[in-house]
């Protein structure tokens, strides 16, 4: 079908002559709607790296891969996947920003779920989005900090709270991140979780126990850990 040549014309890097007069308008529109959604999706990248950088990346994305999703709101997810697969240096920051949207849009039904009481079994909120980076992406800004940052890896968690849809974030070290992973696969009481986590690590048991308790308290209070029950 000749109509498809217009799609190629609006997306291709070197599209050749337009299929009809004013077809270049559609090339402009296509870029604009994609830039619009990426600007909304990645405000920190935008302010740290500038519009020009985002626009260049968007052009490469459109021209080298292009969105395959039919759903316009999912374009930033595909853009991110492309940035990761192409090893783009900014992909960790993009991922950090998108985690919030992934958690917010996660299809799990949560409203019947509450934080567990002292002796109740709890598991990670099903919307928890976990990703690990080598760089402390939460500190990335237009002006790099004067002192070098501490060493990673950094484990970032982001989730949606039941009933309010409020988003919460938590950053933990790799040790605590692994311990939290136990609550991703199985519902455990706090004591059972402490026991399992302490069993699996050779860190200083007293300090580690304290850190685990603090983290558990924190996540329960912010509904990152929810009472066991069928989440869907």
Partner 1 sequence: MGLGFRRELAESLFEAPAGSFDFVELAPENYLGFGGRRRRLLRKATAQWPVIAHGLALSLGGEDPFDPGYLDSLAQFLSDIGTPHYSDHLCVGSAEGRHSHELLPLPLTLSCARHCAKRVKEVTEALGLPMAVEHVSAYGCWPEDEMSEADFVTEVVEASGCGLLLDVNNLYVNASNFGFDPYQMLERMPLEETLQIHVAGHRLRSDGLRIDTHSEPILDQVYALLAEALKRTGPVPILIERDDRFPPLEDLFLEVERVRNIARRAFCAG
Site for partner 1, rule CB under 8 A: 1-8, 10-11, 19-23, 25-26, 29-30, 33-34, 65-73, 75, 104-110, 127, 160, 165
Nearer to partner 1, 15 or 152 (CB): 15
- Determine if residue 139 is left, alpha or beta; phi over 0 gives left, psi from -120 to 50 gives alpha, anything else beta: alpha
Cβ of residue 5: shortest distance to partner 1, in angstroms?
A: 8
Nearer to partner 1, 12 or 201 (CB): 12
Angle between helices 91-105 and 23-41 (to 10 degrees): 80
Cβ of residue 75: shortest distance to partner 1, in angstroms?
A: 7
Nearer to partner 1, 66 or 152 (CB): 66
Nearer to partner 1, 20 or 205 (CB): 20
Cβ of residue 26: shortest distance to partner 1, in angstroms?
A: 6
Cβ of residue 225: shortest distance to partner 1, in angstroms?
A: 19
Q: Say if CB 130 and CB 155 are below 8 A apart.
A: yes
Residue 58's φ and ψ, nearest 5 degrees, are -65, -40
Cβ of residue 72: shortest distance to partner 1, in angstroms?
A: 5
| CA proximity to 175, closest of 219, 215, 135 | 215
CA distance 164 to 114: 12
Please calculate the CA angle 104-134-124 and round it to the nearest 5 degrees: 35
Residue 89's φ and ψ, nearest 5 degrees, are -60, -20
Instruction: Look up residue 42 and give its two tokens.
Output: 């990645």
Nearer to partner 1, 53 or 105 (CB): 105
Nearer to partner 1, 5 or 133 (CB): 5
Cβ of residue 83: shortest distance to partner 1, in angstroms?
A: 17
The residues, ordered by sequence, that sit 6+ positions from 57 with a Cβ below 8 Å of its Cβ are: 79, 83, 88, 90
């Amino acid at each position: 079908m000749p109509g498809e040549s217009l799609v190629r014309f609006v997306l291709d890097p070197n599209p050749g002559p337009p299929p009809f007069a004013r077809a270049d308008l559609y090339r402009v529109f296509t870029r604009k709607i994609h830039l619009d959604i990426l600007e909304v999706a990645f405000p920190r990248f935008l302010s740290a790296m500038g519009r020009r950088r985002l626009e260049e990346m968007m052009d490469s994305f459109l021209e080298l891969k292009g969105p395959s999703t039919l759903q316009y709101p999912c374009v930033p997810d595909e853009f991110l996947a492309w940035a990761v697969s192409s090893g783009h240096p900014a992909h960790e920051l993009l991922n950090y920003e998108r985690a919030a949207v992934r958690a917010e849009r996660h299809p799990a039904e949560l409203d019947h779920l509450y934080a567990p009481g002292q002796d109740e079994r709890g598991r990670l909120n099903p919307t928890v989005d976990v990703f690990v980076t080598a760089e402390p992406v939460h500190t990335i800004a237009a002006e790099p900090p004067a002192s070098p940052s501490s060493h990673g890896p950094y484990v970032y968690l982001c989730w949606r709270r039941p009933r309010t849809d409020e988003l919460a974030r938590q950053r933990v070290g790799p040790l605590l991140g692994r311990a939290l992973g136990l609550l991703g696969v199985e519902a455990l009481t706090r004591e059972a979780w402490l026991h399992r986590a302490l069993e699996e690590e050779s860190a200083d048991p007293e300090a580690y126990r304290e850190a685990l308790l603090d983290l558990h308290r924190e996540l329960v209070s912010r509904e990152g850990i929810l009472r066991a029950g069928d989440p869907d």
